[in-house]
Amino acid sequence: MNSGFWATLYSNKELILKNSVKKIRSPTIFDSIYLPIVKFYNNVLLELFRYTMKIKIIKIILIFVKINPKSDRNLLNKN
């Protein structure tokens, strides 16, 4: 292989190593105010999504029950 290939491979390796080192920073206003609001908002949205999905599943079940009313009539006639 040519020397250019090894040179680019080595420079890419150095770039990867530089980017992989985490920079330690002090907490900012963004961290102390905005992030908790975003986390709370995401949790609220998740709970609303779960609630609406439960309602949709119940509606689908009710639709299937309404589609097949003959089974209900048979049950009523037997009693």
pLDDT for 30 equals 74
The answer to whether the predicted template modeling score (pTM) of the entire model surpasses 0.85 is: no
pLDDT for 29 equals 74
Write out pLDDT tens, residues 2-49: 556 656 656 665 666 566 555 666 777 777 788 888 888 888 888 888
pLDDT for 27 equals 72
pLDDT for 76 equals 55
Q: 33-62 burial, b if ≥16 CB within 10 A, otherwise e? A: eeeeeeeeeeeeeeeeeeeeeeeeeeeeee
Q: Which residue range is the domain that position 25 belongs to? A: 3-78
Number of structural domains in the chain: 1
